Chain A
Amino acid sequence: MTDEMNIADYLSQGGKLTNPANVPPRYRAELMKLMSIFVDSELAGAAGFADVINAGPGIKERIAAARIVLEKTDHADKVLRLMGEFGANTDRYVGHHPWTDRLPRDTAPGSARSTHDMRLSVFNYPLDGWVDAVVMNLCMGHAVAAQLDDMMRSSYQPLAEAIRDVTPRETRHTELAEEGLARLAEQGQGAAIADSLAYWRPRVAAIFGDPSADRLAQLKGWGLRHATASEMRDAWETRLDAALNRLGLTQAA
């Protein structure tokens, strides 16, 4: 039973890679990019959220926000450890970049990344107070869900497992946002919520992008991507609209 099989064929048929020793160089590079997008987004997201803990109106809200900061940082750690097995310097990684950096609030929606980290573009926009943070968390939480669904099927088994592991907590963060928003709506914050939705929705929408057709085909062939950006964006819209309906906050896309 020592049949040889080309790694690319193996991957295209749904094969899994299980440790850095088996991973070809180009696959490694694309996998590292995907992992750093996740790590950087969690770090930047947690860093941004840390600043609004004290804006929480009550102790429950502050606990929820602090918990989100803690767990998102922990999720970054889980995937960063996998990068460490490929040689990334995990000790220096967190310190190499100011994760709280943001663009001015009025920067137009776009998908451009900062040049020094791989955070999703949405994390380059600053939060503006408590209501805004909760709205962003809800909008982005559902987008994260769509992306995690795809990463959970990754052909790199340790990543797929890490994502399966963190997903229930990420889902909980989105539920916390929905609960928080329901309270804010009751307290008559409807106008502020609507303003924040109008601000965040297009900025979250912009994170769904595909690389060139060739690259996407290659990533799909290697089992590192499954859905297209438009499929993920549709899944996000559906989830978010359902949540807004539950909250009685109907807002056009």
Chain B
Amino acid sequence: MPRFHELTVRDVKKTIRDAVVVTLEPKNGEAFDFIQGQYLTFRQEIEGVELRRSYSICAGRGEGVLQVGIKKVDGGAFSTWANERLQPGMVVQAMEPMGSFHTPLDAAARRSYLGFAGGSGITPVLSILKTVLATEQQSDFTLVYANRGVNTIMFREELEDLKNLYMGRLNVIHVLESDAQDIELFQGRVDAEKCAALFDHWIDVTTVDTAFICGPEPMMLGIAKALKDHGLADAQIKFELFASAQPGRLERKARDVDAGTQAARTQASVTLDGTARSFEMDKGVSILDAALENAMDAPYACKAGVCSTCKCKVLEGEVEMIANHALEDYEVERGYVLSCQSYPLTDRVVVDYDQ
């Protein structure tokens, strides 16, 4: 079970107009060892609501600091708070580093890496390239870095410094969407077509051992396609979808109305995959079993309140959750329950598996 730890903010530095690099130090001297490319999940109460957001570590593994980059997202409560309110001395809470956006390094290896970053997707890629270049002294790294314009490039100067430090081993190609570039190839969006052109003229994909991609979804799809077209296998391509991306909704929930009362019976409405179904159920039956009995393909695995596969949200009415070994307090406060352990208390309950 993930645990939260307290971290002191040591520094908050603006990189570009709407992004900060936050330096953190674990309190109580706890070890916060991370692997390049991992992320931290923060929790913060903002206007009475607990928010959890994940941000990639941008420091290299051997640098001896813990830093994350946070870019302000339009309407993003946490990123706005971090950019406007966060100050040195404040204490924040984060889980230990997680994520598998990395490959094992070998000091004796001579490898070629290719990284693609879109906008703030640079943060984990920067961590990887710094660690790789410092650890594997014979390996090289080519970074294709996509941005709107020159003034939105995070870590532009730091990348220049790194190029000088690792002369000949780090190659950075900036591709800008709106600002004119000397070479036409470096202008526009990084999509499959652009990658194919880069691979034909600029980057030798045949020598690439591993490619890392972090950016928005369409960009990742385009790059992955181009890499596969040029012979890379799935296992050689590592993705990191923006850790800060909003969890998407697969489908909209539907609502319905119904009513009914009887002491031992409950009128239940269960939404699954956008479809709501109403049925009468016994109060002695769990929400999950009732849904299954009514031919709904409700999700579950352990039926013991341990795995959390059957998590759903109670929208109306009350249920009693007799065991909970998986959901955290904040989830329960928001109305989430483990449906395998939940029995109706009220004459009507409305639950939703889609949110």
Q: Which A residues are closer than 8 A to B by beta carbons?
A: 1-8, 10, 13-19, 21-30, 32-33, 36-37, 40, 83-93, 96-97, 115-118, 152-153, 157-158, 160-161, 164, 211-212, 215, 218, 222
Contacts and interface: CB of A to CB of B under 8 A. Distances in A.
B304 interface: yes
B99 interface: yes
Most chain A Cβ neighbours within 10 Å, of B234, B307, B331: B307
Given A16-B239, A88-B326, A22 B307 contact: no
A29 B147 contact: no
B302 A24 contact: no
A17 B245 CA distance: 11
B200 to A, nearest CB: 22
B1 A84 contact: yes
A226 B91 CA distance: 46
Nearest to A114: B303
Contacts of B316: none
A16 B148 CA distance: 24
B350 to A, nearest CB: 16
Interface in B232-291: 234-235, 238-245, 247-251, 272-273
A1 to B, nearest CB: 4
A33 B301 contact: yes
B297 interface: yes
Contact of A24 (B215, B250, B326): B250
9 contacts: A1-B216, A7-B250, A10-B217, A18-B243, A25-B353, A26-B250, A87-B311, A88-B308, A117-B302
Contacts of A4: 216
A88 B221 contact: no
B39 A24 contact: no
Nearest to B224: A14
A26 B100 contact: no
A19 B39 contact: yes
Contacts of A33: 299-301, 309
B343 to A, nearest CB: 17
B241 A118 contact: no
Interface of B: 1-2, 39, 41, 52-54, 98-101, 118-119, 121, 146-148, 177, 189-190, 215-221, 224-225, 234-235, 238-245, 247-251, 272-273, 297, 299-304, 306-311, 325-328, 331, 353-355
Contacts of A5: 216-218
A21 B221 contact: no
Given A1-B118, A85-B98, A16 B219 contact: no
Nearest to A22: B241
B217 A36 contact: no
Contacts of A2: 119, 216
A5 B221 CA distance: 11
A171 to B, nearest CB: 15
Contacts of A6: 248
B250 A8 contact: yes
A32 B301 contact: yes
Contact of A22 (B224, B247, B302, B310): B247
B243 A19 contact: yes
A250 B310 CA distance: 45
Contacts of B235: 164
Most chain B Cβ neighbours within 10 Å, of A5, A91, A117, A152: A5
Given A1-B147, A25-B355, 8 more contacts: A1-B219, A7-B247, A22-B242, A32-B308, A89-B326, A92-B325, A96-B306, A152-B234
Contacts of B101: 18
A79 B40 CA distance: 21
B217 A160 contact: no
Closest 4 CB pairs of A and B: A7-B248, A29-B299, A36-B301, A32-B309
A161 B2 CA distance: 21
A26 B253 CA distance: 11
A89 B325 contact: yes
Contacts of A19: 39, 54, 98-99, 240-241, 243
Contacts of B41: 21
Contact of B310 (A18, A29, A96, A160): A29
Nearest to B54: A21
Given A1-B190, A15-B217, A27 B250 contact: yes
B69 to A, nearest CB: 15
Contact of A97 (B39, B302, B308): B302
Most chain B Cβ neighbours within 10 Å, of A1, A13, A18, A160: A1
Nearest to B55: A21
Given A1-B148, A85-B98, A153-B234, A26 B353 contact: yes
A40 B1 CA distance: 19
Most chain B Cβ neighbours within 10 Å, of A2, A83, A92: A2
A1 B304 contact: no
Given A3-B218, A15-B217, A32-B299, A24 B309 contact: no
A234 B173 CA distance: 47
A24 B300 CA distance: 16
A118 B304 CA distance: 12
Nearest to B289: A115
Contacts of B243: 18-19, 21-22
Given A25-B354, A26-B251, A160-B234, A93 B100 contact: no
A218 B273 contact: yes
